[in-house]
Structure 1
C-alpha cells in the first residue's frame, strides 16, 4: 500500500515516514523544491517536489497513492498576515481533500491541532467533545487550522470523504531539524539562567503521535477526531524535567503575565508597522499564559496508544540535538 505524506521533511512528516516504512508501507513524500531533505535521506522513499497551495501539483502528488497523511502546514505563531496561514493551512487542505476525492484515496489522515478544541484544566482536561473556544485569541495559526478541520469534516458528510482527524498537542522528540517545537528544549539547555512563561500545556512524544497516525490509518473511525495527548505540565514543571534529564541546575525566572502580554503587544505593533514577523505577538503571549490541558483517553482506547512519559521524549530530543550539533 502506498501512502503520501505531505510536509514530508518536517518534524512530524519525517517521523511518520519512518513509522509507516517500518510497518511495510510504500512511502512517498511531498515537499517544496527548496526543502532540505537531509532529515529523510536514510528512508527508502519517493520524493515529489511540489507546493501544497498548487492544486495541480497536489493532484500529481496524490495520484497512485492509496492513503494520504496531510502534515504540511505553517505552524509558527508569528506569520505576518492571516493570508499566509490561509494559503497553506486552508487552501492546501482544500487541495489535498479535492485530490483525495478525485483519485479515490482509501483514507486521509488530516493532521489538525489540539487547539481546535477548547482547552481544559488540570482537574478536567479537555476531550474531543469540547467546543472551539480560542477564536478570540486571534491566532492566525489556530484559526486557520480550525477552518481547515471544519472543511474536512464537511466533506466527510457531503461527499463521503474517507478521512480521520488527529489533534496532536505539543510534540517533543527526535528529527526536529528545523527546529520547530524543539526550540523549547534549546531555550532551556546549557544556560546559567532562563525565563519561563506562567502557563502550561500538554506535551506528547513524537513517537506516540506517529503511532496514533499509523493506527488511525488502520482502525480510525471515518469523521472522528482524536486528541493525541500525553502529559499536562506547567512550563515550570516541564523545564524542571528538562533540567533533570540534562543534568543541569540553572536559575529559572518566571515571567509575570502582564509583562509577557506587554512584550507581545509591542511585538504585534512592530509587526504591523514594519510588515515583518516577530517571534512574540500578543496572541502567542496570551497562549503562553493559558493552561492548555487535554486528555488522550479516546486515542488510548480506540487507537491503542500507550503514552510515553514525557521525560523520555525530552531525552530523545536532547540526544538528537546533541548528536547533530544543535547544542
Structure 2
C-alpha cells in the first residue's frame, strides 16, 4: 500500500488522484481541521472518474509531531510519499517551519525505519539548491550564506531523509520549482495566480523555476516504480522571469498584465513598512531581506538529470498548465 503525507496539499492531492486512478491501494494522512471536502471537490472538478476514485482513498488523521498517531497511520504501508510541509518565508514562522519540515520529516523517517517500510519519496524544494550565482543543479552545495528560514527547514529535512538512506531506507528526493496547478488560491503558489487575477500593476525583478503539479507527481511515481533511489532530482519545466509568468497568467485570466518593474530601492523602502504592518495586523510578512536578495540572484535550474533518468519523460508546456489553472480559478475562486 502507498501512503501519502500532506494529502490535502497541492502535490499530495494530485498524487492521490494518480495513485487512486491507477487502482493502487492508498492511504492519506491529513491534519485535524483540514478541509477534506475542498480536496473532494477538486477530484470531482477533474471529472466523474476521479470523483469515484476518491472513495478508494483511506484517510487517516495524524499530526507529524504525534509519533504514536503517525506510526499507526504508516503501519502496513510498503512505501511512503512525504509531501507534507509548511511554506512560509516569514522569519517569525521559523519555529513552526522547523517543527513541521525538519522535525516532521525526522519523525516520518524514524517511523519508516521502525516499521520496516523500505521506500520513501521526499518532496523538497529548489530552495535547497545552493551553488554559484545563477547555477541550479542537483550537485550544487548548500550555501548557508544565501538562504531563508524556509530553505533552511527544507535543507534540514533533506538531511533527515539522507540519514534514513544511510540506515536502510531507499530514498528518492525531488526538488520541484514553484508548483503550479489547480487547488487553493489563498496559500502557496496559488497566491501567484490570485495576485495576477487581481490585476497587478507591478512585477518583481528576477525569476525562478516553475513546474506543473501533474509533472511532479508523474516523476515521483516513475522514480519509485523504476527504483531510482539514493539521488535527488530537480523538477523544473521552465525558467521564467516573474514578468513572464505573471504576464502569461494575466493573459489566461484575461486581465491586464503588470507593466511596471518593482525597483530594489522600492522594495527596501517597503520592507520595514511591511514588517510594521505584519506586527500590527498579525498577517504574514510579504517582503523580507532574504526575498529581496533572491530577486537579485535568480538561478537557471537544469532539468537534465530527471530527463536522462526517466527516458522519454517530458515536461508539460507552461501554457497548457496555466490554461488549466485559469479555468479552475475562474470556476471556483468565488465558490
Q: Does 1:131 align with 2:131?
A: no
User: SS of 1:148's equivalent?
Assistant: helix
**Residues 53 and 91 of structure 1 are in contact (CA less than 8 Å); yes or no, is this contact kept in structure 2?**
yes
**Residues 126 and 294 of structure 1 are in contact (CA less than 8 Å); yes or no, is this contact kept in structure 2?**
yes
Q: Distance in 2 between matches of 1:182 and 1:293?
A: 22
Q: Does 1:66 align with 2:78?
A: yes
1:220-259 alignment runs, 5 A limit: 220-259=227-266
Structure 2 vs 1, CA of residues 251 and 108 (structure 1 numbering), >3 Å: closer, same or farther? Answer: closer
Q: Does 1:156 align with 2:168?
A: no
User: SS of 1:129's equivalent?
Assistant: coil
Deviation at 1:266, TM superposition (A): 4.1
2:310 aligned residue: 303
Q: Distance in 2 between matches of 1:163 and 1:63?
A: 18
**Residues 197 and 289 of structure 1 are in contact (CA less than 8 Å); yes or no, is this contact kept in structure 2?**
no
Deviation at 1:190, TM superposition (A): 4.7
2:102 aligned residue: 90
**Residues 128 and 142 of structure 2 are in contact (CA less than 8 Å); yes or no, is this contact kept in structure 1?**
yes
Q: Distance in 2 between matches of 1:78 and 1:284?
A: 10
Deviation at 1:212, TM superposition (A): 0.8
Structure 2 vs 1, CA of residues 178 and 11 (structure 1 numbering), >3 Å: closer, same or farther? Answer: farther
2:151 aligned residue: 142
Structure 2 vs 1, CA of residues 63 and 251 (structure 1 numbering), >3 Å: closer, same or farther? Answer: closer
**Residues 138 and 233 of structure 2 are in contact (CA less than 8 Å); yes or no, is this contact kept in structure 1?**
yes
Structure 2 spans left out of the alignment, 5+ residues: 41-50
2:46 aligned residue: none
Q: Distance in 2 between matches of 1:303 and 1:37?
A: 33
Q: Which of 59, 63, 77 is 2:89 aligned to? A: 77
Higher relative contact order (CA 8 A, sep 6+): 1
Q: Does 1:5 align with 2:4?
A: yes
Structure 2 vs 1, CA of residues 272 and 81 (structure 1 numbering), >3 Å: closer, same or farther? Answer: farther
Deviation at 1:100, TM superposition (A): 0.7
**Residues 220 and 303 of structure 1 are in contact (CA less than 8 Å); yes or no, is this contact kept in structure 2?**
no
Q: Distance in 2 between matches of 1:131 and 1:326?
A: 43
Structure 2 vs 1, CA of residues 309 and 24 (structure 1 numbering), >3 Å: closer, same or farther? Answer: same
What value does the CA root-mean-square deviation take over the aligned residues?
2.3
**Residues 110 and 164 of structure 2 are in contact (CA less than 8 Å); yes or no, is this contact kept in structure 1?**
no
Deviation at 1:263, TM superposition (A): 2.3
Structure 1 spans left out of the alignment, 5+ residues: none
Deviation at 1:175, TM superposition (A): 2.5
Provide TM-score, normalisation by structure 2: 0.88
Structure 2 vs 1, CA of residues 202 and 64 (structure 1 numbering), >3 Å: closer, same or farther? Answer: same
Provide TM-score, normalisation by structure 1: 0.90
Tell me whether 276-285 or 19-28 shows the greater mean CA deviation.
276-285
1:39 aligned residue: 38
2:298 aligned residue: 291
Q: Does 1:48 align with 2:57?
A: no
**Residues 205 and 313 of structure 1 are in contact (CA less than 8 Å); yes or no, is this contact kept in structure 2?**
yes
1:182 aligned residue: 190
Q: Does 1:20 align with 2:16?
A: no
**Residues 247 and 258 of structure 2 are in contact (CA less than 8 Å); yes or no, is this contact kept in structure 1?**
no
User: SS of 1:232's equivalent?
Assistant: strand
Tell me whether 240-249 or 136-145 shows the greater mean CA deviation.
240-249
Counting matched residue pairs gives 321
2:44 aligned residue: none
